[in-house]
């Protein structure tokens, strides 16, 4: 039980009824993920939606256009898929959002009354999910825990056998369409940020092929060709300093690199006949889709709106389905047909979210390279500098993009400008940019944040006396670290589910994250204790000047609660103004009402700290 000051929870943000209704409507508007379809029964699909007020799993039979809510759990359900024959829905059952659990399965049409979903793979232990592949006869589940990585394989629903086990982080990557070959990712070389690939024989678990590009160059197995007897594996590599594609014929151990004349980075998946690839291209925080013909090497751009493609896949008839949004326009699941027509595929119930302000680009030149930032101003903002929130993304291997955000729109409605910084460590800008934080994480990113802060003040966007640093997860870590190492820049700090005391966090967090930390820092705290301390927010508590708000999940396996309490106790010893909001979930909440409450707490705190109310 926390003894720290509890964050204020106001009843509302605005006196104006229309303004209050508008920001709440963006959160309440139902959203849906791109439906995942069964390979042998394409009309049977599964998606995730918040239509009930909690993110849960839904089954959609397209033949009859009927929808069924599959899960109904207090803290929601985020991971699900459908078996190839369309007969079962698989979903991951954790406890109170702690991410630790097992895969369960139930009939697509629904369970008999009074029954529960049963274990999807008999004999597989509980743990953190580390990949899943479902075939007609073979099911493969990856499990991560303190023992490392264990991969279970079940044949025909029988008791699972262990086909792979190692102390290092890894997981299931891909199962061949004929269920003969299994690709796994592993970090037996000691670096899970740059994994290697191994292909095993499903028959006996023997190694068929290996691929590793060496230190600092990761490989990701995407999917085998969707053709029976075809041993080609689509792979993401970074041999030339950015993520690109290759096709690896596993059985002949030959490969073909696919060099595309596109800036930025790419990922892809197969068209269902195996003759082409659906390529998603990322450049400057926006996406385009392309069709790559494998035989001719030709690349065709598909007609999609400007913005961000969340995910995309193809259907047997060649239709491309994708999820899309932009900063100004709320998300939609769309279908692009082979004749070039495009329409909304799946419309969730209720009203659409109100629109918001667009994002513009800022490219800030620094001695370490060009930092890309995305900037939004309130549509009705007066001229002159504004209170500004610097919203730092998590990951760190992620990036802010031109996508819709009810959260960003709320800050804009409250009168703040919003600046997103794709600092070093972000993805989408090449391997060197992503890996520049290795050896000194946190402090490296904050040098880029400071440069963008200088730009925002010098251009007249940001009021230097009213700048808020804000983020969740890795972004929360950066926010706390910024408050201690850049105290003169910030008038308030908001940190959601942060790393606050790195040494204690390492002791308590899930093993895959400990492996990530070892790769990021270059060793464990036992080997590099002073470096972990140098990069830890708790080291700089004495320098913090601005009021601090921390939001934390009591069941969080990624940024555990003890290390947050350590940090807050240090603040309390200084009688420094701080507030805490604890919630009964893990690394974030899937409950819409809880998300609204937390967002309201954050903006209200910032307005009070900046004396704007």
Q: How many Å separate Cα 429 from the centre of its chain?
A: 17
Tell me how far apart the alpha carbons of residues 555 and 272 are, in angstroms, rounded to a whole number: 40
Give the pLDDT confidence of 75-98 residue by residue, as tens digits: 999 999 999 999 999 999 999 899
Considering 344-348, 546-550, 587-591, the range whose residues carry the highest mean pLDDT is 546-550
CATH number of this structure's domain 17-25+353-610, picked from the four choices 3.40.350.10, 3.40.50.1820, 3.40.718.10, 3.40.50.2000: 3.40.50.1820
Closest CA to 466 of 404, 534, 390: 390
Q: How many Å separate Cα 360 from the centre of its chain?
A: 23
Stretch 179-205: mean pLDDT, rounded? Answer: 97
Tell me how far apart the alpha carbons of residues 146 and 71 are, in angstroms, rounded to a whole number: 29
Q: What pLDDT score was predicted for residue 556?
A: 87
Give the pLDDT confidence of 454-492 residue by residue, as tens digits: 999 999 999 999 999 999 999 999 999 999 999 999 999
Tell me how far apart the alpha carbons of residues 427 and 423 are, in angstroms, rounded to a whole number: 9
Stretch 600-606: mean pLDDT, rounded? Answer: 98
Q: Which two tokens stand for residue 315?
A: 């259907």
Share of the chain above pLDDT 70, in %: 100
Closest CA to 402 of 304, 468, 482: 304
Give the pLDDT confidence of 376-422 residue by residue, as tens digits: 999 999 999 999 999 999 999 999 999 999 999 999 999 999 999 99
Q: pLDDT at residue 328 above 70?
A: yes
Residue pair 477/514 in contact by the 8 Å Cβ criterion = no
Tell me how far apart the alpha carbons of residues 121 and 56 are, in angstroms, rounded to a whole number: 21
Adjacent-strand bridge partners of 312: 322
Stretch 319-337: mean pLDDT, rounded? Answer: 97
The residue with tokens 């596109």 is 262
Q: Under 8 Å CB-to-CB from 436, ≥6 apart: which residues? A: 368, 424, 425, 444
Q: Under 8 Å CB-to-CB from 558, ≥6 apart: which residues? A: 99, 473, 497, 509, 510, 513, 586, 587
Q: pLDDT at residue 1 above 60?
A: no
CA-to-CA separations, 429 to 254, 424, 493, in angstroms, rounded:
29, 9, 27
Q: What is the mean pLDDT of the chain?
A: 96
Q: Under 8 Å CB-to-CB from 48, ≥6 apart: which residues? A: 32, 33, 55, 56, 57, 58, 77, 78, 80
**Per-residue pLDDT band at 613 (split at 50, 70, 90):** confident
Q: What pLDDT score was predicted for residue 2?
A: 64
**Per-residue pLDDT band at 102 (split at 50, 70, 90):** very high
Query: For 367, which DSSP code?
Result: T
Q: What pLDDT score was predicted for residue 270?
A: 98
pTM of the full structure: 0.96
Closest CA to 278 of 260, 305, 264, 253: 260
Q: Under 8 Å CB-to-CB from 337, ≥6 apart: which residues? A: 318, 319
Give the pLDDT confidence of 530-588 residue by residue, as tens digits: 999 999 999 999 999 999 999 999 998 999 999 999 999 999 999 999 999 999 999 99
**Per-residue pLDDT band at 3 (split at 50, 70, 90):** confident
DSSP string, 327-347: SSS--EEEEE-TTS-EEEEE-
Q: Where are the beta strands (DSSP E) in 473-577?
A: 492-496, 548-553
């Amino acid at each position: 039980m926390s003894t720290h000051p509890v964050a204020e929870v106001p009843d509302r943000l605005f006196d104006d009824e229309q303004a209050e209704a508008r920001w709440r409507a963006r959160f309440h508007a139902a959203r849906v993920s791109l439906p995942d379809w069964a390979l042998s029964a394409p009309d049977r699909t599964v998606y995730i939606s918040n239509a009930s007020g909690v993110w849960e799993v839904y089954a959609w039979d397209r033949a009859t256009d009927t929808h069924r809510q599959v899960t109904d759990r207090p803290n929601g359900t985020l991971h699900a898929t459908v078996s190839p024959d369309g007969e079962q829905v698989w979903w991951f059952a954790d406890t109170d959002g702690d991410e630790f659990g097992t895969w369960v399965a139930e009939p697509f049409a629904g369970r008999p009354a009074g029954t529960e979903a049963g274990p999807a793979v008999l004999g597989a232990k509980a743990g953190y999910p580390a990949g899943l592949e479902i075939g007609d006869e073979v099911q493969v589940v990856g499990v991560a825990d303190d023992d490392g990585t264990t991969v279970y394989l079940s044949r025909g629903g029988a008791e699972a056998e262990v086909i792979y086990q190692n102390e290092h982080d890894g997981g299931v990557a891909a199962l061949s369409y004929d269920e003969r070959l299994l690709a796994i990712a592993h970090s037996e070389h000691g670096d899970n940020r740059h994994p290697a690939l191994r292909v095993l024989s499903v028959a006996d678990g023997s190694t068929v092929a290996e691929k590793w590009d060496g230190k600092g160059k990761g490989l990701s197995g995407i999917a085998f060709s969707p053709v029976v007897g075809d041993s080609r594996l689509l792979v993401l590599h970074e041999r030339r300093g950015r993520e690109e594609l290759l096709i690896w014929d596993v059985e002949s151990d030959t490969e073909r690199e696919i060099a595309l004349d596109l800036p930025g980075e790419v990922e892809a998946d197969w068209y269902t006949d195996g003759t082409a690839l659906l390529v998603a291209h990322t450049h400057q925080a926006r996406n385009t889709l392309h069709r790559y013909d494998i035989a001719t090497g030709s690349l065709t751009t598909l007609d999609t709106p400007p913005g961000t493609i969340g995910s995309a896949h193809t259907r047997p008839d060649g239709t491309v389905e994708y999820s899309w949004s932009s900063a100004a326009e709320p998300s939609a699941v769309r279908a692009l047909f082979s004749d070039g027509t495009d329409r909304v595929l799946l419309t969730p119930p209720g009203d659409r979210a109100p629109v918001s302000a667009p994002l513009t680009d800022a490219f800030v030149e620094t001695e370490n390279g060009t930092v890309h930032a995305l900037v939004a101003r309130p549509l009705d903002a007066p001229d002159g500098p504004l209170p500004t929130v610097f919203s730092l993304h998590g990951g760190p291997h992620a990036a802010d993009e031109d996508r819709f955000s009810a959260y960003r729109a709320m800050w804009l409605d409250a009168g703040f400008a919003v600046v997103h910084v794709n600092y070093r460590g972000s993805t989408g800008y090449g391997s060197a940019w992503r890996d520049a934080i290795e050896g000194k994480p946190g402090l490296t990113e904050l040098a880029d944040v400071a440069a963008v802060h200088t730009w925002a003040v010098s251009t007249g966007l940001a009021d230097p006396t009213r700048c808020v640093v804000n983020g969740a997860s890795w972004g929360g870590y950066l926010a706390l670290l910024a408050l201690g190492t850049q105290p003169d820049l910030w008038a308030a700090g908001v940190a959601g589910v942060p790393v606050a005391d790195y040494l204690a966090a390492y002791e308590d967090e899930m093993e895959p994250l400990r492996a990530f930390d070892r790769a990021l820092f270059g060793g464990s705290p036992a080997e590099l204790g002073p470096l972990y301390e140098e990069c830890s927010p708790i080291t700089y508590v004495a320098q913090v000047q601005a009021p601090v708000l921390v939001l934390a999940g009591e069941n969080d396996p990624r940024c555990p609660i003890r290390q947050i309490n350590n940090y807050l106790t240090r603040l309390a010893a200084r009688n420094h103004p701080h507030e805490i909001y604890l919630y009964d979930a893990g690394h974030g909440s899937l409950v819409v009402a809880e998300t609204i409450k937390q967002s309201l707490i954050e903006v209200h705190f910032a307005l009070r700290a900046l004396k704007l109310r």
